[in-house]
Amino acid sequence: MNNRREFLYGLGTSLGSIAFSAMLADEARADGKQSPLAPKDGHFPAKAKNCIFLMMEGGPSHIDTFDPKPALKDLHLKEFVREGQQKSAMESGKRYYVQSPFSFSKHGQSGADMADNWVHLAKVADELCFYRGCQVDSVNHPTAMYQMNCGNRFGGDPGIGAWVAYGLGSMNQDLPGFLVLPEISYPQGGAANWSNGYLPAFYQGTPLRPKGSPILDLQPPSGVTPKRQRRNLDLLARMNTRHLQQHPEHRELSARLESYELAFRMQTEVPEAIDLSGEDQRTLSMYGIGNEATDAFGRKCLLARKMVEKGVRFVQLYNGTWDSHDYIERAHKNLVRGVDQPIAALIADLKDRGLLESTLIVWCGEFGRSPDNGVRGGTAYGRDHNANAMTIWLAGGGCNAGHTIGATDEVGMTAVEEVHHVRDFHVTLLRLLGLDDNKLTYYHAGRFKQLSQFGGKVIEELIA
């Protein structure tokens, strides 16, 4: 006889009961009939099968990287007043236009604009699709990071990688579907940037530590053999499965069962996957490994390539912080030096291995930067946060390579062509991976939720 809770769950033919039936089906698959990370077909045919997401935390300045603004040369250190704002009403004192300390050139047959300190990336310019029309809602780092990574400024929602793993599964059942390579210090907003949110825990991002053992407790204690581990896991699985059958509403338990099994398989797969000793010296040098400036990010990019080769669906790499409120010439120069060679090597390496066409690469921050600054005199010129203008670029995976889409105004303050909210950009990323945002939904808190929150428009110009 059903107890009260089971009766209420099964009552009626409402969306709630339909959603619950879907959840039960998910749990049935998690109980052994099918892994929740088993590969799934997308909603559309797509070239992109994997995604490498390069997150430049802190807000890179589009004006000083990929969106030159020669008008700022004549405006340099002239007083800046936002449109519609009276000088007497300015709260924080006077502000001044700041020209870029970097010169720019055009590269490739596409004539892509790049600051001249992008030495290596310039060589693969025709593989890139630049987008200058994206806007976000916040100039606060944590909320803007959440919005770029999860679609919601306030945290608690699934990361993009979690949505992709939920929609497509993973091509390697011995590794997580969503891997994260953070800095030693986590980004603003912390691990919520790669959370599974309200999705089942199978889909959360798994961070690899940048120093020491990439995953703690990866190796079993001394004297514990794989055979003994297997017996222990089988016993635990029988007990947990029996408990789950008695309490089907406890969804976390099925995720825990799967995580135990995945952890057991990872003990064999991960050490080899993260081992770079098998790479030849030419490859290591190409990524800048061994060079103090490029070693850290070079290792991340090479690991990302290895993970994609092994079938990991979504890999997110963090670099930062690009929050250059002053001394932008020195700060951005050093930051570009650290990522330029590794990123160019990643693109070239994937192309040489025939993987670029099926791997979508995304480069972005959480917002752009302003054409003005409050500092006058000396050399401490920098820029403030700007939610209305930024540059994002894509490579591989069916993107419209060799094109620059959208534009900002003459000083880089706001996007003026092909202007789209970040939700449209998210919808476009999903489309490049063969997923329809309106169909990639999950029932939670009384409604079906999606990455874009309430729907968006595909930016067709970004797709080849």
* Closest to 365 in 3D by CA, of 350, 383, 346, 351: 383
Residue type, position 366, single letter = E
- The dihedral through the CA atoms of 343, 347, 348, 352 has a sign that is positive
* Closest to 249 in 3D by CA, of 446, 36, 7: 7
* Distance of alpha carbon 230 from alpha carbon 210, whole angstroms: 29
Q: Rounded to 5 degrees, what are φ and ψ at 14?
A: -75, 175
* Distance of alpha carbon 111 from alpha carbon 113, whole angstroms: 6
132-146, 231-245, 307-321: which range is least confident on average?
231-245
Q: Is the Cβ–Cβ distance between 203 and 312 less than 8 Å?
A: no
Q: Percent of the chain beyond pLDDT 90?
A: 68
Residue type, position 156, single letter = G
| Pairing, β 50-56 against β 359-364 | parallel
Q: Is 401 left (phi over 0), alpha (psi -120 to 50) or beta?
A: beta
Q: From residue 285, how far is each of 37, 118, 348 by CA, in Å?
A: 35, 18, 13
Calculate mean pLDDT across residues 280-306. Answer: 97
For the chain, the residue count is 464
With a cut of 50, say whether residue 7 has pLDDT above it: no
Q: Percent of the chain beyond pLDDT 70?
A: 80
| Per-residue model confidence (pLDDT) at position 20 | 37
Q: Is the Cβ–Cβ distance between 269 and 292 less than 8 Å?
A: no
* Distance of alpha carbon 397 from alpha carbon 413, whole angstroms: 30
Residue 189 CB contacts under 8 Å (≥ 6 apart), including other chains: 141, 142, 143, 145, 146, 149, 155
Q: From residue 79, how far is each of 72, 76, 97 by CA, in Å?
A: 12, 9, 6
With a cut of 80, say whether residue 267 has pLDDT above it: no
Mean pLDDT over each residue of the chain, to the nearest integer = 86
When pLDDT is cut at 50, 70 and 90, the band that residue 217 belongs to is low
With a cut of 90, say whether residue 265 has pLDDT above it: no
Q: Is the Cβ–Cβ distance between 175 and 311 less than 8 Å?
A: yes
With a cut of 50, say whether residue 27 has pLDDT above it: no
* Distance of alpha carbon 241 from alpha carbon 238, whole angstroms: 5
In three-state secondary structure terms, 373 is strand
* CATH number among 3.40.720.10, 3.90.1300.10, 3.30.300.210, 3.40.50.2000, domain 35-214+281-462: 3.40.720.10
- pLDDT tens for each residue of 168-216: 999 988 888 999 999 999 999 999 999 999 999 889 999 988 776 666 5
85-89, 246-250, 340-344, 459-463: which range is least confident on average?
85-89
When pLDDT is cut at 50, 70 and 90, the band that residue 270 belongs to is low
pTM (2 d.p.): 0.85
Q: Is 43 left (phi over 0), alpha (psi -120 to 50) or beta?
A: alpha
Q: Sketch the domain layout of the chain as residue ranges.
A: 35-214+281-462
| Per-residue model confidence (pLDDT) at position 271 | 65
